[in-house]
Amino acid sequence: MSTPTLEKPPAVPEEIQSFTVTLSVRRFVPETDEEPHWENYDVQMYATDRILDALHKIKWEQDGSLSFRRSCAHGICGSDAMRINGRNRLACKTLIKDLDITKPVTVEAIKGLPLEKDLIVDMEPFYASYREVQPFLVANSKPKDGKERIQTVAERERFDDTTKCILCAACTSSCPIFWTDGQYFGPAAIVNAHRFIFDSRDENAAVRLDILNDKEGVWRCRTTFNCTEACPRGIQVTQAIAEVKQAIMRGKP
């Protein structure tokens, strides 16, 4: 009987390379600051870390007063949209390896909504537009067999893209029309109207089309495509808006 021997020495776990990343964060504390200002923080990060991890490191290890919203940390809840290197993204879906870290990475609150503190904005105007388009199923008739409202695969497919919205406001706050005209419904509200306008079970499409035919409705859209590029869910936002415009002209979905 021979004692088993290791053929190779155990591999020394390779050290995972980390980098010093400078974050330039636009800070604003309403109690003490008159104007927002930029502050730099150095954090040690792995390539697979996300900007949200960097913000956590700053908050937990360097400056507990830094304020931002986040909940799920996995791109589902939509609470951490912010402007990173001049583009709207979710902090929890922005990997360090996808950014140029030879320069400071800028992080600021999304634009066009009232700044409350640091990276937090007042989302109320955004939700108000969302509520106005009736983002819920309206069906007052009795279902055919008395139980279910049946839909074909193709009917479900018709509005599939716009069901993916997580209401993060990345689109609306990237829109140059919304920046100058805060009354504009904005892409997110139109996306969520589209979700029900093209749902075969819904009966209130005409009402929603009428709401969006408003001066501040879909006709404000100048097809800049900023919203489509900003959407972390990959929704074809401008396409959805164009489809609503066409539905208004046809007078039906």
Partner 1 sequence: MWSWVLHRITGVAIFFFLLVHILDTALVRVSPEAYNAVISQYQTPIMGLGEVALVGAIVFHAFNGLRIIAIDFWNAKYQRVLFYVVIGLWVVTMLAFVPRHLINVFSH
Least distance in angstroms from the C-beta of 16 to ligand SF4: 32
Query: Quick one: 112 or 187, whose CB is closer to ligand SF4?
Result: 187
| Dihedral sign, Cα of residue 58, residue 62, residue 68, residue 72 | positive
Interface with ligand HEM, residue 223, by CB under 6 A? yes
- Nearest Cα neighbor of 212 from 225, 198, 229, 193 is 193
Furthest C-alpha separation in the chain: 89
Interface positions with ligand FES (CB under 6 A): 70-73, 75-80, 90, 92
- Nearest Cα neighbor of 126 from 140, 109, 108, 141 is 109
Query: Quick one: 79 or 192, whose CB is closer to partner 1?
Result: 192
Q: Which does 245 bind (CB under 5 to 8 A by kind): ligand HEM, partner 1, ligand FES, none?
A: partner 1
Interface positions with partner 1 (CB under 8 A): 176, 222-226, 228-229, 236, 238-239, 242, 245-246
Query: Quick one: 117 or 245, whose CB is closer to ligand FES?
Result: 117
Number of residues in contact with ligand HEM under rule CB under 6 A: 2
Query: Quick one: 73 or 211, whose CB is closer to ligand FES?
Result: 73
Interface with ligand HEM, residue 222, by CB under 6 A? yes
Least distance in angstroms from the C-beta of 95 to ligand FES: 13
Query: Quick one: 95 or 207, whose CB is closer to ligand FES?
Result: 95
**R_g of the chain computed on alpha carbons:** 23
Residue nearest to ligand HEM (CB): 222
